Amino acid sequence: MRIGYGRVSTRDQHPEAQHDALRAAGCEQVFLDTTSGKLASRPELDKALLSANRSGDQLVVTKLDRLGRSLENLIDLSKTLQERGVDLVVLDQGKELTRPANEDHLSLVSAHFTTIRRYTPAFLAVLDLQAAPAAQDLLAAIKVIRTMNTSGARKVPDDAPTSFTRSRWKTLVFAENGTDRGFYEFCALAELKNALRSGDMWVTGSRQFRDFDDYLLAGSDYTAMKYAGGLPLVTANGGEEYLKDRLALLSERLHQVNALASRDELPGC
């Protein structure tokens, strides 16, 4: 089933062109949003995604920018469609660009490389990024991208770190003629977002993306609070007594379970 989706701004009150193009492309259902601004809700898109929920369905748009309001939003929507087995069809100047369900829709975002390149060099240049051992390879990749931005190099070095590359990116990052610069940077930025959220990477001086150790007591503060009896702990008698009490409680509960089991009185059995 083909489901069409279109979007116009409040300044462009002429949705007929998109509607007619989607109908001409064989869409059985057409959903149109009229929105202005990146934060505006898109209820008709939600309805279109609810309709395009079966493997083999096709979500049709006239242009790619009608679907995604940002690169990150477009990647998330593409991933959702791929997981459902839904094909994405883009109508652009009379051409249909179709992608089968087993092909990653990330290949469609390459057209946005020029746009994102306007901001990433300055963005990466000002951030003092740090990483835990699990994300050191990704941090090294960010440093490689910074160096390429500074030097103007277009080719990704042969020894550039790549272990952070997830399987869904590999066919795009690793091209026949070497590592694709655009998708290498896209992939690194996507993984940087994930690493910042998980705490594997942090930004020095940031309030939101700070080092996990910053949330912990300093060693000197811990020692002072310990001897002053001011540690906010759940036990007042020390760790050994706490564990002893918990083991005793566990033993008591196990005896209760054994007694119930011997009488065939366990709940739910």
Give the C-alpha separation, 185 to 250, whole Å.
52
Give the C-alpha separation, 151 to 159, whole Å.
17
Please give the backbone phi and psi of residue 195, each rounded to the nearest 5 degrees, phi first.
-70, -35
Query: Is 51 a known active-site residue?
Result: no
DSSP state of 57: -
Please report where in the chains the tokens 């489901």 appear, as a residue. Answer: 3
Please provide the DSSP assignment of 181-214 as one string: HHHHHHHHHHHHHHHHHHTSEEETT-SSS--GGG
Instruction: For the beta carbon of residue 114, count every other beta carbon within 10 angstroms.
Output: 9
Instruction: For the beta carbon of residue 170, count every other beta carbon within 10 angstroms.
Output: 13
The contacts found for 37-44 with CB under 8 angstroms, 24 or more apart, are 38/69, 38/70, 42/7, 44/5, 44/7
Among the listed residues 9, 36, 70, 251, the single catalytic one is 9
Give the C-alpha separation, 109 to 75, whole Å.
8
Contact between residue 135 and residue 201 where contact means Cβ atoms under 8 Å apart:
yes
Annotated catalytic residues are 9
